[in-house]
Amino acid sequence: MNHLAQKARRQGFEFTDQDFNRLRELVYQHTGIRMAENRRDLIYGRLSRRLRALNMHSFGDYCKLIENGHEDELEAFTNAVTTNLTAFFREAHHFDYLADTLLPELLKRKQANQRIRIWSAGCSTGEEPYTLAMILRESIPDIHNWDVRILATDLDSEVLAKATAGIYEQQNIQQILGERLKRWFHKGTGIHKGKAKVLPQLQELISFRKLNLMESWPMKGSFDIIFCRNVLIYFDKPTQKKLFDRFAGILNPKGHLFIGHSESPLDLTSHFTLIGQSIYQRSK
């Protein structure tokens, strides 16, 4: 965007360095997300919509509202600052590894209690947990004899509502092979033409919950597998380290952690061993 266009856009509200820094700090406090200097336009764009919605005239007043802990607006604020880009079968090699290597091994190892627990942490609009559910159903023919659950969490209540509904637009389902699409989705008709809804067989494997990774985690049991992909990249190194250590603590011994291709625990903690392309195993 050129300078004049930026100026024209900013004429809506004054946006000072102080406002920007104050908002960046609030984003960090409430989400752990580090907004770099070049995120100024993003912050302005997303939060000026909140000012308009609230009929407010200054970012200073808006900051006060957040600093005072206004609950509804805190939710809208955190929803506005998250980046929710996701896709079905994103980083497809993870799902190949799960289907071809990890699940066959787990099915042998867990014969005694027939229980598998997976956490999709930062699940956004649900594409990741639903992809996991498809792989589980396709790889475990006698899944009805197993106690298999996916916990899918995110901080953003809007994406969670979309995930829970499980209805996707044409452009979201393009990556899914025709055969799978037929097997796991119900095609919309009438006003829903072009959309597709995931079948209850996938939905019933998943519990969607709101959870801020920066806060305490209410889960009682431990997990065999954690997917936390393209989430830690928004956090600074000390926060990443804390989370990697917490993931190690809630994984079963030898449990697996799948992360995004530009994330790594290796320089931050000694809890994990690299065993595949951005796939780690808890080593201690």
Asked whether 157 and 225 are in contact (CB, 8 A), the reply is no
Does the footprint of ligand SAM cover residue 278 (CB under 6 A)? no
Q: Tell me how far apart the terminal alpha carbons of the chain are, to the nearest angstrom.
A: 49
3-state secondary structure of 164: helix
Give the one residue of 40, 50, 117, 229 binding ligand SAM; rule: CB under 6 A. 229
Q: Is 19 a catalytic residue?
A: no
Instruction: Write down the number of H helices and E strands in the chain.
Output: 13, 10
Which two structure tokens, joined as six digits, stand for 255? 């449990």
Taking CB under 6 A as the rule, does residue 124 contact ligand SAM? yes
Q: Which two tokens stand for residue 106?
A: 């787990």
User: Which contiguous run of DSSP H or E holds residue 258?
Assistant: strand 251-259
Out of 22, 51, 76, 86, point to the residue binding ligand SAM (CB under 6 A).
86
Decide if residue 213 touches ligand SAM (CB under 6 A): yes
Q: Which one of the listed residues 34, 46, 180, 246 is annotated catalytic?
A: 46
**Interface with ligand SAM includes 32 (CB under 6 A)?**
yes
Instruction: By CB under 6 A, tell whether 281 contacts ligand SAM.
Output: no
Q: Does 131 sit near ligand SAM (CB under 6 A)? A: no
128 scored as a contact of ligand SAM (CB under 6 A): yes
Residue ranges in 90-156 assigned as alpha helix (H): 93-97, 103-109, 127-139
Report the alpha-carbon distance of residue 177 to residue 197 in Å, rounded.
15
Q: How far is CA 233 from CA 93, 110, 254, in A?
A: 19, 33, 24
Q: Give the nearer residue to ligand SAM in terms of CB position, either 83 or 269.
A: 83
Shortest Cβ 87–ligand SAM spacing (Å): 6
Distance from C-alpha of 90 to C-alpha of 80, rounded to nearest angstrom = 23
Residues 70 and 23 sit within 8 Å (Cβ to Cβ): no
Query: For residues 46-75, which are near ligand SAM according to CB under 6 A?
Result: none
Residue number, 44 or 130, with CB nearest to ligand SAM: 130
The contact pattern for ligand SAM, residues 88-107, with x = CB under 6 A and - = no contact, is --x-----------------
Regarding 85 and contact with ligand SAM (CB under 6 A), the answer is yes
| Residues contributing to the site for ligand SAM (CB under 6 A) | 31-33, 82-86, 90, 122, 124, 128, 154-156, 159, 212-214, 229-231, 234
Active site residues: 46, 154
